[in-house]
Amino acid sequence: MKTRVLIADDHPLVRLGMRSFLETEGDMDVVGEAVNGQEAVELAVKEQPHVVLMDLLMPVMNGIDATKAIKNASPGIEVVILTSSLDDERMVQALRAGALSYILKTTAADEVAETLRRAARHESVLDPAVQQTLLGELRNPPGTKPWEELTDRERDVLRGIAAGRNNQEIADELGIGIKTVKTHVSNIFLKLDVMDRTQAAIYAIRNHLD
């Protein structure tokens, strides 16, 4: 089955270029183009794509508000943010609004396509620069409350996950065994009800974990 994609961007050349590329991919079907956030919401509800490829800065309704509206109307539709913005506040707001993935417009075209495929399978992708911002938010969350289900050590491990470290690197940093790290990771996934490391980091931001 082809991945159904809706493109939302206010720049015609971006929409044209992305459509032209995706149409060369045999497993992609571009079901529509939106020039602003409001149109993205309307087309998403009408066309029911698997994934919306969403710009952040658009007229009428921005990508953050559009993401929130789409997730409220059709929770099964995933949103991938594709933007030139590395603004920390917008980045976090987009993830809290329900965006599954956040990648930059400097990302290679084939990587964008793979991100869309993964989004259709409800798998997250974050640009490395975004991961660093997430780590900063975890260390210094403004006005947040601790997530009571996580122990202090589990929060330490979660910060390592958000930073993109593997289990061995986390073990070395915290001075604990790798088996202990694996146990903490399993507990984190269970407590946060997530399937992978990227989802754990996103969940942490959406829920103001410290």
Tell me the DSSP string of 136-171. Answer: HHHHS-TT----TTS-HHHHHHHHHHHTT--HHHHH
Q: What's the whole-number mean pLDDT along residues 97-117?
A: 93
Q: Are 147 and 207 in contact (CB under 8 A)?
A: yes
Decide yes or no: CATH 1.10.10.10 for domain 131-206.
yes
Q: Is the pLDDT of residue 57 over 50?
A: yes
Domain positions in the chain: 3-125, 131-206
pLDDT digits (tens, 9 = 90+) for 110-165: 999 999 999 999 998 887 777 666 666 555 554 444 466 788 899 889 888 877 78
Q: Is the pTM of this model over 0.75?
A: no
Q: What CATH number has the domain spanning 3-125?
A: 3.40.50.2300
CA distances from 107 to 104, 126, 130 (A): 6, 11, 13
